[in-house]
Amino acid sequence: MAIATLRQQGVFNDYVTLSSEYSPFQTLTGLQNLYRQKSNSLLYTSNYFNLNKISLIDKTLSRKGYGFLTNEVSGNKSILNIGIPNSMIASLQKKAYKETGDARYLYSPYVCISVFKKDHFNPHYLFYPKNFIFDVSANILDMSLNTNSMSSHLKDFIYDRSFDKILKSIEITRFILDNGGKIKPKISKGYGESGGVFSKEVLINHLHSYVLQEYTKLTTGLNFDEETFLLTRNSINDSNPPLERNDLVTEYRKILFELKRIYPEIDSDPQLKSEVFRMVSCIKQSIPFSFTSRFKKLITPKSFDRIYSIFVNEKDFVLVPNGGEISDIFNLDSLSENKMFLLDGKLSGGGLNSLKKSFDFSNVNSAGFEKYAEKYLKSLEPSAPEAYNYHVVTSLLPLEFVEGAIQKEKNEENNIINSNIPQPSGTVTASTLINNRQVSADGTTFRPKIPGIN
């Protein structure tokens, strides 16, 4: 029956050839996003906004230190939406294991998204990237799949709670595939050894992505969920109502005729016309008229396995010393003291003084560096114009790239496969990462002391 439905909708070949290991999980979350019905309504819950979620957005985006606030003057503020292409993670896992023989790559869910800035006024300048680490197996959802009710971080949200308590209340959903092929949602909360995500900073990245996507939807109407970007050979007819359903088309035209009768001034009153247009858009998204198009979105392979939203400020990129390299970022023994490598996208606090405090420049001529950085310091002024572009590198990190970065939940088949794979000896910590290799999205490998820079 399922195969017949896929053939009927014209997506069978695409589904068979283009589905990734994340496709079954995306189907489950898609059911929640696309088909959960509001009680006593012909609209889906996705057509409504949740007040607690809006409060969570406000609480999260009002925090100091991340460049969200208007008084945090670091140039233009941008939301970057980064998609990890279909099957890319699996390809990197296999390629990394093949090239390194390190089994920690095979089932690692950890990726680092590095944002690089290129200054067109000073093309010889090299900037340290902004780094954001994510666990691709972790999902923050509006609804709890185990209880079929609202997730606790929304249902029990209290604005006056400390941000740390809010973080510990965040529900993290992972999907476990058993030997029988059944998908089981596994829910945990917060961060830490027994929490949903191993690191507080990584959980903050996930929360920022979660609220930034909802903020974008609220303010622009743009939806950056994975089911928005479909991977098909041929375009899908997702018109509402579906043109092949003559009965629905007839009913839809009746509604339009009735609206025209109720509001005869629609052609002469611009404000009324705008309101009626909004009303018609809601009607087109109602259950009778959008069911078919939503179903096509649900079963069609997605272009991206994951989409993350990150926040950057244009003047928050710190200059690399003249003659220096990005690898100089690892000069400090303590990762926690190195302001240039922050897992959660905090402001770096650029400027010459910050650079001198953050790095050991004993081998760098101070006067020469000040001259080299003169234009850079001027560019940090609020009124200074800039011409630049960003580019992004997505990299795969091995398990235990820092202490505690383990695979939180394993599929049952992984336990069998892992038993036949030679494991590396010793414990991997941040201080021993010089011997690790990191694989980037373009397939190249490199050897940083701390992953996230290439």
Is the per-residue pLDDT at 447 higher than 70? no
pLDDT tens, position by position, 357-401: 444 444 445 556 666 677 777 888 888 888 999 999 999 999 988
Is the per-residue pLDDT at 354 higher than 50? yes
pLDDT tens, position by position, 233-288: 666 665 666 665 778 888 888 888 888 888 888 888 888 888 888 888 888 888 88
Q: How confident is the model at residue 207, as a pLDDT?
A: 96
Q: How confident is the model at residue 422, as a pLDDT?
A: 46
Of residues 418 and 180, the one with the higher pLDDT is: 180
pLDDT band at 96 (very low <50, low <70, confident <90, very high): very high
Of residues 281 and 100, the one with the higher pLDDT is: 100
> What average pLDDT does this structure show over 43-61?
88
3-class DSSP string for the chain: CHHHHHHHCCCHHHHHHHCCCCHHHHHHHHHHHHHCECCCCCCEHHHCCCHHHHHHHHHHCCCCCCCCCCCCCCCCEEEEEEEEECCHHHHHHHHHHHHHCCHHHCCCCEEEEEEEEEECCCCCCCECCEEEEEECCCECCCEECCCCEECHHHHCCCCCCCHHHHHHHCEEEEEEECCCCCEEEEEEECECCCCCECCHHHHHHHHHHHHHHHHHHHHHCCCCCHHHCECCCCCCCCCCCCCCCHHHHHHHHHHHHHHHHHCHHHHCCHHHHHHHHHHHHHHHCCHHHHHHHHHHHHHCCECEEEEEEEEEECCCCCECCCCCCHHHHHCCCCHHHCCCCCCECCCCCCCHHHHHHHCCCCCCCHHHHHHHCHHHHHHCCCCCCCCEEEEEEEEECCCCCCCCCCCCCCCHHHHHHHCCCCCCCCCCCHHHHHHCCEEECCCCEECCCCCCCC
pLDDT band at 444 (very low <50, low <70, confident <90, very high): very low
